[in-house]
Chains A and B, each alone.
Chain A
Amino acid sequence: MSPSAGAAGIKAANQAALARLVEARPMLVDCRPAREALGLEGRRVLHAGPPLRWERACPTIQAAVLCAVRYEGWAADDTGARDLVTRGEVALGPCHHAGAAGPMTGIVTPSMPVFVVENRLTGTRAAATINEGLGRVLRFGADDEAVVERLRWLAAEAGPLLGAAIRRVGNGAGIDLRAIMAQALRMGDEMHQRNVAASSLVARLLMPALARAAADTAALARVAEFVAGNDQFFLNLAMAAGKASTDPCLGVTGSTMVATMARNGSEFGIRVAGLGARWFVAPVETPRGLYFPGFTAEDANPDMGDSAIVETAGLGAFAMAASPSVARFVGAGGLAEAVRATEEMAEICLGEHPHFRIPTLDERGTPVGIDVRKVVETGVTPLINTGIAGKAPGTGQIGAGIARAPLACFEAALEALARERRS
């Protein structure tokens, strides 16, 4: 390939990759155990972020993995669980390699029910667990009996009923998540830190179907209460939608667009559309933000979770201008700063989202399609809205804030892109 053809290739490839991303049609089509949805067999535990060796995992993720082993009944207690893991009898792997996106610790095991999202544009499927709610939950590294009990209830009652309901909606056509996200954006959600509008919208669609699917009104009431009581219920759906929309971009030769961003509590990793499955990693930073009473920045765990897929798809911090209340919550000072955050992200993106429009920005689309080149050129790194977990294992959520992707992984990706082009 001549250099000039290469240059034309980059522009065209980025246009193609961006079109794939923004024209994705993620539909919520099912909820069933990960064993069935993802083919997750045996003693496998998925975690958030780029690949991670057990010894290198932060204590919070380790605690969540041990809790998941107990939940699956592979060990009776943490000592037994740790034994299994260190002997290599539990296989760890990233959610992203198994078709899933996991929030915070991102733990998925075979019996956990997962939502299944199908991208109608490409047929790509992606999954995410049912959001457990706030506070002391597995995704934030909490690991007590109450956590395990909730997980068991989700598997036994909520998952099957939600699955039955979802399969009924629109005679099996599923729930159009892009339409919900576009609408929720206009109602003040950015789909990462704030999901109250999207959760309400999806609940409105689910409730009649749940009622029809339920044989037992007591079970229906419990599931309905659980869904209605969780403002972040939609987060995991936004993540599965994000993954189903960004995954098809991986492998668009020549594209410099970021297709994945994820953190595992030790490293921040990105994957680039034109560079396929390779991860480019750098040490992850600790988020800055606001803390629940009794906690301070001292207690915060380094950033983690696959939820940055929401930003990768043009929402979250990139859509901050649509969600001024979040801006204040994460330390920014209201609308002006929220707009600044979105405009800053526009400087490193390939385009504006044609379907996710921000009323307060004269209907401009959210910035979408992070360009590795623009990040390195400007030194402006992607901004991510995030929850903050405690670093002492078992603590759970201690606050919420913002984090920046480290520049080094984009620099490494740029060098790989340049090598790719020369060869």
Chain B
Amino acid sequence: MSEAASRVPALLAGELRVVNLGLQAFASDLERRGVAVLHVAWSPPAGGDLKRAALLAALDDEEDADA
């Protein structure tokens, strides 16, 4: 398994910019603190149909080259 250089130090040293998926309250909390956050009006993918959701995951744009 090849490992890329850790991007964690940059995360800890920089400013958080958060995509929030799920509990809306988390986005509101972050907003109040002045953290850049974009809340997603999420709903279960493919209307909650897990079979189609799996097809969507398999057809994702971004690739996992080492998998």
Contacts and interface: CB of A to CB of B under 8 A. Distances in A.
The short answer to whether A and B are in direct contact, CB under 8 Å, is yes
Interface of A: 3-4, 7-8, 10-11, 14, 256, 373, 376-379, 411, 414-415, 417-418, 421
Interface stretch (B7-15, B22-30, B45-53): B45-53
Given A7-B63, A377-B46, 9 more contacts: A4-B63, A4-B66, A11-B61, A256-B59, A373-B59, A376-B45, A376-B46, A377-B56, A418-B55
A10 B45 CA distance: 19
Contact of B61 (A14, A376, A378): A14
| Chain A contact surface mostly | helix
| Chain B contact surface mostly | loop
A418 to B, nearest CB: 4
Interface of B: 43, 45-47, 52-53, 55-56, 58-67
A376 B44 CA distance: 11
B39 to A, nearest CB: 14
Given A418-B58, A421-B58, A379 B63 contact: no
A421 B63 contact: no
Given A376-B52, A379-B46, A10 B59 contact: yes
Among A4, A11, A14, A376, chain B packs the most CB atoms within 10 A around the CB of A376
Sorted from nearest, which 7 A-B pairs have the closest CB atoms?
A: A7-B63, A11-B61, A418-B55, A377-B45, A4-B65, A4-B63, A8-B63
20 contacts: A3-B58, A3-B67, A4-B67, A7-B61, A7-B64, A8-B63, A10-B60, A14-B61, A256-B59, A373-B59, A376-B46, A377-B46, A377-B56, A379-B43, A411-B46, A414-B55, A414-B56, A417-B59, A418-B58, A421-B59
A379 B58 CA distance: 18
Nearest to B67: A4
A415 B63 contact: no
Contacts of A415: 52, 55
A378 B52 CA distance: 12
A351 to B, nearest CB: 12
B46 A418 contact: no
A7 B60 contact: yes
A411 B52 CA distance: 8
A7 B62 contact: yes
Contacts of A376: 45-46, 52, 56
A1 to B, nearest CB: 12
B7 to A, nearest CB: 21
Contacts of A14: 61
A378 to B, nearest CB: 8
